[in-house]
Amino acid sequence: MIAYVTVGADDIARAKRFYSAFLPALDYGLEEGAEGLSYVLPVQPGQTLQLPDFYVKPTFNRHPATAGNGAMVAFEARSQNQVRDLHAAALAAGGHDEGQPGFRAAYGPHFYVGYLRDPQGNKIALFSNDPNEPGREG
């Protein structure tokens, strides 16, 4: 099980604007500290931790943050409509389009995904894979 994912950011304010445009809609709460941003899922009384956490932080070695070549973080949305809405919100909050929401021939018939880059260049996917929603034709 993945416990947490961390991406580096040189401009925490820009990163906060971007990630706060869609992560709260996926139930992530924001905790801010001197070391950056921590987006965590809520824990109900008597419940174990909900993972993974998502951290946005300056680099430990204080060198410029860089995006990983081939690295991507994917967040599951509740519906195809939410993928579209959150993709648009993330773009309006400083993200860059890497692939409009839609179906991809290489994936399952219900896998609906939109891709973007955060202000630092990290690749992000927002997807839904609900078999109760319309699927890809063909």
- pLDDT of 74 over the 70 cut: yes
DSSP 26: G
- Range 4-59+71-128: architecture per CATH: Roll (3.10)
What tokens were used for 2?
A: 């993945």
Per-residue pLDDT of 40-59, as tens digits, reads: 999 888 888 888 999 999 99
The pLDDT score that the predictor gives to residue 138 is 60
The contacts of residue 46 (CB under 8 Å, 6+ apart) are none
Distance of CA 15 to the CA centre of its chain: 12
User: What does the pLDDT read at residue 50?
Assistant: 84
Q: Ramachandran region of residue 36, left (φ > 0), alpha (ψ -120 to 50) or beta?
A: left
Verdict on whether the full-model pTM lies above 0.75: yes
Domain boundaries, the chain: 4-59+71-128
Listed in sequence order, the DSSP H helices in 3-75 are: 12-19
